[in-house]
Amino acid sequence: MKAFFPRRIVACAAALIALVSLAAPSVSAIPVAGFVVGHGESAHPRDISPRTRVVLSGGQYSTMITKDGRFIFPDVAEGTYALEVQSPQYIYPNMRLVVSDQQAKAYIVSIGADWSNNDNAITFPITLVPRAPAMYFIPREGFQIKHLFANPMMLMMGFSVIMLFVMPKLMANMDPEAMQEMQGMQEAAQMPAFEMPDISASLAKFSTGGSSSAQPAAGSAKKRH
């Protein structure tokens, strides 16, 4: 009688586990494969960097590419994923991968488009073509003539040269009275010349303390007496 209850409890537990396993939804997984190609018509899969890899949803699934540019995810569960290529050479478009009912669908996600947009569907196997090569450095611009005209100093110099040839012709065709009036305005506008002091004379006077000028004055006073 005592051994009957443990056996009954074990049987009930096994039946309960079986019911839970039957009631639980079965999660199906399918393989997803494709190809990664290089940039340009003559690009070869061997030219792609071996560090290139394909990831789903930021790393939930990740795989490397083979020598022929092929990649495969063996078991991808049902759901929606963001597929992207992480490459140091090229920039690839982002895609939305939808796995449901034992089949997969892929859509190109354009910049600024809605995530649920299904207009840009692609066929399987997925072929990932880069948009452009990855540019990490901006090349230095070479010399161009137009850069000279964008420099204010060059513009001022060019204006001065033009006025050097244009002003004599304007002066030649100007009325004499207007010419005299303009010359008078120029003379009035000129600043007076600033005379620089004689530094050597100032230093000699400072070193003698003004005694040379005082002695002749005393001598002249004695002569008067």
Dihedral of the alpha carbons of 207, 213, 215, 216, in degrees to the nearest 10: 150
The ranges assigned to domains in the chain are 26-133, 140-184
Output 119 or 107, whichever has higher pLDDT: 107
**In angstroms, rounded to a whole number, what is the distance separating the alpha carbons of residues 101 and 80?**
12
For the chain, state the CA radius of gyration.
47
Lowest mean pLDDT of 11-15, 74-78, 80-84, 112-116, name the range: 11-15
- The count of other CB atoms within 10 Å of the CB of residue 72 is 14
C-beta of residue 79 within 8 angstroms of C-beta of residue 30:
no
Whole-number mean pLDDT of the chain? Answer: 75
Q: Is the pTM of this model over 0.85?
A: no
Is residue 204 over pLDDT 50?
A: yes
Query: What are 94-107's pLDDT values in tens digits?
Result: 888 888 878 888 88
Q: Which two tokens stand for residue 209?
A: 């303390």
Go through the chain and tell me how many residues it has.
Answer: 225
Long-range contacts made by residues 133-139, C-beta under 8 angstroms, separation at least 24? 133/39, 133/89, 133/90, 133/91, 134/87, 134/88, 134/89, 134/90, 134/91
CATH for the stretch 26-133 = 2.60.40.10
Is residue 22 over pLDDT 70?
A: no
